[in-house]
Structure 1
Amino acid sequence: MTENSQTGPSTAPPASPAAVSAASAEDKQGTAILMICGAALIFAMMDGMSRHLGAAYSPFFVITLRYWFFVAFVLVLCARAPGGIRAAIRTQRPWTQIFRGVLLAFEVIVTVEAFVRLGLINTHAIFACYPLLISALSGPVLGEKVGWRRWAAVAVGFTGIVIVLKPGSGVFSAEAALPFLAAVMFALYGLLTRLVARDDGAMVSFFWTAVAGAIAITPFGLREWQPIAAWDLPWLLLLCIGAAAGHMLLIKAYEMAEASALQPFSYTQLVWVSIFGVVIFGETLAPNVALGGVIVVGAGLFTWWRSRQRERAARGR
């Protein structure tokens, strides 16, 4: 027997409500981090499937089918949310919501085309600069103050991109503009999402992301319609299910923890993409691409750390 069992029940005071609340928040954040990592794995798998299908079919056709499934998923979510679909439609910024939804749809098209032309690893090594672009564009788009440290991080990050695009590496070409264009589009989409969040709830933005994107891309997808081989149907189905599962994990994760606390873990997608690219698609992780990717990610993590510092300082004041 232990000493406590000999002397009767423990006389330790009960945990304070604040301690219980802190432990609960920590548990939620840990669960949210696992969800973000799971979403990153799913999105990396989707990138691989998108590359496979994009090489055999028009990216417009593949993404159109994916968006139709996405719309069905979002409508089910909105119907179950308070206020239903009618509440999800109501937006204070309709034109901004429509533009950001269309922008994301065409960003996905550009990214899939980059996967086919450049491969997963090279595309993501360049695309990883989008957090730096968000920092650089947050001034003109949102009116935020961008300090010299963030500008320095942006400069370092773009140095990493130059290293990735080292002449003779096989990446330095006009096609390398595709992942950079996709990164610019995704950064602008992220900034517009923050802008509409000032007036609209998350479910409203989610609804308009799906519906506006689907409406914009469907005419292009119908024009590129083609028969699907029987052996590609499972991949297409997995791609659609993966999109729904990945977005569901993101929604749940951001309900449990702050986005700024979760952002660094989204970079695990780059790790999975590199593994899939080498093992499944026979891509080569060139030293300059690895070094440049590390620099870009490191600069992105620095901008995240700086924004966390500013938030803490603002709360302290």
Structure 2
Amino acid sequence: MAGVQPLGITPQSWQDRAAAFRADPQALPQPPATPTGSYRLEPSYHPQLFGAAPRQGGPTAGATSFADEVRGRDAKAVDLELMQIANAVYDPSVRSVGDWTRLSDAQLREAGIDPATLETPDTGFRAGIYTDGDGNYVLAFSGSNERIDWTGANFPQGLGLRTEQYDQAVALAQQVANSEFGREGNVVITGHSLGGGLSAIASLATDIPAVTFDASGVHDDTMEQFGLDPGQAKQDAENGLVRRYNVDGDPLTAAQEDTPGLNRIMPDAPGHEITLDSPLPPIDPPKWTWNPIEMAQRTADYLKAKAERVGDLHRQQTMIDALQQQRPWER
């Protein structure tokens, strides 16, 4: 199957790398301690991007880092900002999201991260790294943009097949975790839809906490491909490593969890689930009329509006509206 295997990397080599990373992060290739090459540092230069980092972990009591603040089952105010970032990453031209700014290609190179690893048109993979300027970072994965995301990532992975986008997500997350801000616990992961599924597997492979939105499920076989025990990984996610939001009626979540037949095939999204009420107004049924032509038109309009509403329930703006209106962190 074309595009299923990453170039030059076998499933076994990925399992070996994942196992080696969890056992000894310092054994992986390290980024340079300082930038190299002839250039002038920009005012936006982030020196904390450099260095070697073990994977995040340990107790969360005391919340001594950004990751500690985000980690957990309870809703947090920062989740709204993370959803806004998860929305912005769909469009690389959007450089600022509130107090957060997307790192430029130059800043990524200074950090030892190849900008090309954040976007691959052939596979549909897209990601971005954002900073608030106070030493905190967010790795965000884009959701489905085109048909290739369904034929090359969503559908095959949902059946347990190896897909390149999931390989790329884990590789990028390991690279980020192996940076200084990763070592210090100053990075979290987020994503919407397919990006939520990528965020979840990246989180499970690195122990970096993630907050996902209307996320795709992650198959047990996918977890095993990265050297994870599915049962333990799902429990870790449920215990607060991954916090996942969905809007009531979201079609992807409904298909994965509630639709007979599909829910036996499609995997659930990992993480502690927080369901928000739909912020969309209900669609009223058509008013009765004895005119058969008019009644047929009203019925057609009603069915069209219902179908559009189902699609709207999965849109990023719907999730943003739900978070802004309901503020679950204040409950």
Q: TM-score, normalised by structure 2?
A: 0.28
Decide which structure has greater strand share: 2
Decide which structure has greater helix share: 1
Q: TM-score, normalised by structure 1?
A: 0.29
Q: Higher RCO, 1 or 2 (CA under 8 Å, sep at least 6)?
A: 1
